[in-house]
Structure 1
Amino acid sequence: MVLGFGLVSLAVDAVSDGARPLAGPLLAQLGASALVVGLVTGAAEAAAQGLRLLFGPWADRTGKYWTFTIAGYALTVLCVPLLAVTPVVGAAGLVLASALIIGDRVGKAVRSPAKTVLLASVAGPVGRGRGFAVHKSLDLAGAFAGPLIASAVIAATGSLWPAFAVLAIPGALAMALLFRIRGRVPEPQRTAEQLVTPVLPDAPDTPGGLKPADTPAGRLPGVFLLFALSAFFWSAGLVAFGVIAFHLTAAVDVPVSAVPLVYAAAMAAAALGALASGYGYDRAGGAVLLVLPVLVAVIPVLAFSVSTGPVLGGVLVWGAATGIQDSTVKALVADLVVPARQGTAYGIFAAFEGGGALAGGALYGALYGTRPALIAAVAVLQAVAMVLVVATVVRSRRRPGAETGPGAEPGPEPE
C-alpha cells in the first residue's frame, strides 16, 4: 500500500510539478513583475501549507480521511490543465493564472494531512523513515517525469499552453488509480490507546503520566510545537521555485523550454535527499534533520548567481532540501504525535511552514535585486532554525514515552 500511494503521488506530481516550474515564466508572459511572481508563488506555497491547519483537524474530527484525500487530488488535476486557457482570456489572464496556481496548492492542503495519516498507518511495519522515503521517491519520479513531458511539448509546439493541457492525461490516470486503492485501504481505526498522548515533564501530574488527547486538558506535545516553530524559519528561507525560474529566464538567459529540465534535475536531487535522510532517520533519529537549515542557507548563495553553473548547483541543493522537508520531516512529526491527533498535527505544522513560505516569498521578491542582503537575511533565519531543531532533537529524546530513531516504535505509545 505504500507503493500504491506512491504511484498515485507519481501521477499527480507529474501534473502538479509538470506545471510548477512554468508558473514563473507563465506569469511573466502575462505581465507579472518579480515581486508579483514572488507573492503569487509564495501565497501558493502558503496556501498549500497554511490551510492544512483547517483541513487536518477537520479530517481528525470526521475520521473521513479518504474524502479529503480524494477531494484534494481532484482539485489539483482540474486546476493545472485549466492554466492552458489563461493566455487567451485577455486582461483577466494574470488573475486567472494566479488563482489556478494557488488552487493547485490548495488541493495539496486539502489532501495532504489526511493522505499522510493514511500513509503513516500503512508504513509503520516497514519503518516510518523508510516508508515515507520510498513514497517520496515515487512521488518525485512523477515530479521528474512531469517537467520532461512539459519540456517536450513546449519544444514541439513553441508555446506554454499545450504543456498545461497535456497534463490532464496523467491526472485522469491518477484519479483512476486512487479509486482502485480506496477499495483496499480502510479508514484508520482510532482505538482507546491512541487517544492519549505523553505529558511533557513540566505538565501537571496525572495518573500514569497521560492525558486524554481529545479532552480540553489534552494537548499536542510541546516538543512538537517547538519543531513546528523551527519549520517556520527554514521555510522562510526555502525559496519557491517560481522565483528561481524567473531568475533563470530573466537573468541567466535560460530558454523557457529548458526550465522544466532544470526542475526535473532538482526533483532527482530531492529523491536522493529523501532516501538518504529517510534511511538515516531510521538509524539515527531526528538528528539527521540538522542538515536542513544548512542546505537552505546555501541556496541563495548559488541559485541567484548570474553564472549558469552556480545557479544549477543551487537548484540541486534546493531539490535536496525540498526532498528532506517533504519526507523525513513528516516521519518525525508522526513519531512525536499519537495517531488520533496526527491530522491536526500535520495541519498545524503545515501552517507554520505556510507562514514561513509566504514570508519567504515576500522576502525573495523584495530583496531579489540586492543579493548580499538576501543571503544575509536567509542566513539569519537558518541560524534560528538550527537552534530550534537542535532543541527539538534534545527535548524529544528526554520526553517520557517518546522514542525515535533506531528501534523506535511507530509513534508514541502509552506506558
Structure 2
Amino acid sequence: MNNTESKNLKRGAFYFIILLGLVSLLADVTYEGARSVTGPYLGLLGASSAVVGFAAGFGEMLGYAFRLVSGYWADRTHRYWLLTIVGYALNLLAIPLLAFVGNWQVAVLLLILERLGKGLRTPARDVMLSQATKQVGRGFGFGLHEAMDQIGAVAGPVFVSIVLARNLGYRDAFLFLGIPAILAMILVVTGRFLYPRPQEFEPAYKGIETKGYSKAFWIYLGAVALIGAGYIDYPLIGYHLQQNGILQPQFIALLYSLAMGVDALSALVFGAWFDRAGVSVVGVSALIAALFSPFAFLLHVWWGPVIGMVLWGIGMGAQESVMRAALAEMIPTERRGVAYGFFNTVYGLAWFAGSFVMGIIYGFSPTLMVIVSVTLELLAALLIFVNRHSLEHGHGV
C-alpha cells in the first residue's frame, strides 16, 4: 500500500468514525434524554426504590447478555450493518411509547425493550468501529466516538429539562424525543450505503487458529465486572435526589446533562492517554469512580451531588472509551464480535446484580451502599494494576 492509499484509508476511517458518532449522538439525545428522568417517572407511577434499581439493572443485564448472542451472529454472518440497523430501530422505538403507559409495569417492559435493541446492535457496531480505529489509534477512535455520543447525552437531558420547565410533563418529553430517533435511523441507513464494507479498514488476521481465550482476557473481564457492579446507575441517583427533596425535577435532568458533558471530555482525554499508557488507564478510571458516591449520596446539599456527578462523568467517560479500546488490542478482528459479547455480558450481569443489590441496600442504609460501591471500584483498580504487564503484553486468544 503506497502513501496515498494509506492516507485515503485513514481519512475514510476517520469519516466513518464521525458518521457512527453522529448516529450515536442522535440516539443518545433520545434514550439518554429519557433515561435522565426514568427514575423519577417510575417513582411517580408508584415504583419503589427496589423496582427502580431492578428496572435499571435488569434492563442493562438483559441487553448486555443478549450481546453475546448478537456478537456470535456478527462473527458468523458478518452482517454488521443489518444487526446494527435493526438494533437501533428497537432501541429507539420504545422511548416515545413511554408517553402512553399508565403503570410502572408497562414502563419497565418498554425500558427493557430499549436495552434489548441496544444489545442487538452494539457488538456489530463496535466491531465496525474497532476496525476503523486501527487506522487512527484505538484510544483516539473510541474516545472520539464516545465524545460525540455524549454530546447527544448532554443535549437529551437539557431538552427534557426545558420541556419540564415549561410544564409540559414527562409524557410530552418522551413524545418529542421521537424526532432525534427518526433522524438517527435515517443516518444509520445512509451509512450502510456509504460504507458497505468497513472491515476493509482492518483485514482479518490469517495466522494460526486458536481456541478459547487467554488468562489475561478473563482477568480483564473480572476487573470489568467489579467496575460494573460498583457503578451506581443514574436512575437510583435521581430517585435519591427527588425523594430527599435535594433538587427539583428539571435540575435532576440538568445534573445528568452535566455528567454527560464531563463524560464527553473525559473520553477524549483518557482515549488519547490510553494510546500512550495502555490498560493502566482503566485502573485509573476505577479509582476516580470510587470517589463519586460519597458526594452524591451522603451530602444533602446541592453542591454534593454536583461534585459527585462530575466524578461520575469522568469515570464513565474514561471507562466507555478505554475499556472497548483495550479489548480491541487483545482480540483479532475475526473473533471480536464474540469477545465483545463476552465483555458486555459479564459487564451487564455485574451491572444488574450491582444495581439491584444497591437499590435494596439503599432502602436500608445509603451509607452502607456507598461503602459497597467504593470497595468494588477499589478492588477493580487493584486487579488492573497488579496484572498490568500480562494485560498489556499477553494475548486475548
* TM-score for both structures, normalised by structure 1: 0.87
Contact map agreement 1:234 1:293 (CA 8 A) in 2: yes
Q: Does 1:99 align with 2:109?
A: yes
Q: Which stretch of structure 1 is more off in the superposition, 389-398 or 53-62?
A: 389-398
Equivalent AA in structure 2 for residue 261 of structure 1:
L
Contact map agreement 1:136 1:271 (CA 8 A) in 2: yes
Q: Which stretch of structure 1 is more off in the superposition, 298-307 or 76-85?
A: 298-307
Q: Does 1:151 align with 2:182?
A: no
Q: CA deviation at 1:229?
A: 1.2
Matches of 1:193 and 1:357, distance apart in 2: 32
Question: Aligned to 1:321, which of 315, 326, 345?
Answer: 315
TM-align CA RMSD: 1.8
Matches within 5 A, 1:13-32: 13-32=28-47
Identity in percent? 34
Matches of 1:79 and 1:374, distance apart in 2: 31
Q: Does 1:234 align with 2:227?
A: yes
Q: Secondary structure at the match of 1:318?
A: helix
Equivalent AA in structure 1 for residue 67 of structure 2:
R
Matches of 1:150 and 1:256, distance apart in 2: 10
Q: CA deviation at 1:186?
A: 2.3
Q: CA deviation at 1:122?
A: 1.6
Q: Secondary structure at the match of 1:212?
A: coil
| Deviations 1:231-255, CA, capped at 9 Å, x for gaps | 1111111011100010111114311
Matches of 2:392 and 2:188, distance apart in 1: 37
Q: Structure 1: any 5+ residue segments left out of the alignment?
A: 197-210, 403-411
Equivalent AA in structure 1 for residue 305 of structure 2:
V
| Deviations 1:312-337, CA, capped at 9 Å, x for gaps | 11111111211122111100000000
Q: Secondary structure at the match of 1:157?
A: coil
Question: Aligned to 2:144, which of 134, 141, 162?
Answer: 134
Question: Aligned to 1:295, which of 288, 301, 325?
Answer: 288
The equivalent of 2:238 in structure 1 is: 245
The equivalent of 2:209 in structure 1 is: 212
Contact map agreement 1:274 1:327 (CA 8 A) in 2: yes
Contact map agreement 2:61 2:349 (CA 8 A) in 1: yes
| Deviations 1:43-80, CA, capped at 9 Å, x for gaps | 12212322212211121111111111101110122001
| Deviations 1:136-179, CA, capped at 9 Å, x for gaps | 11110000111111111122234110000001100111111111
Contact map agreement 1:45 1:240 (CA 8 A) in 2: no
Contact map agreement 1:195 1:338 (CA 8 A) in 2: no
Matches of 1:59 and 1:28, distance apart in 2: 38
The equivalent of 2:380 in structure 1 is: 385
Contact map agreement 1:221 1:337 (CA 8 A) in 2: no
Shift in CA distance, 391/71, structure 1 to aligned 2, threshold 3 Å? farther
Matches of 2:311 and 2:81, distance apart in 1: 34
Contact map agreement 2:66 2:120 (CA 8 A) in 1: yes
Q: CA deviation at 1:396?
A: 2.6
Contact map agreement 2:204 2:333 (CA 8 A) in 1: no
* TM-score for both structures, normalised by structure 2: 0.91
Contact map agreement 2:154 2:261 (CA 8 A) in 1: yes
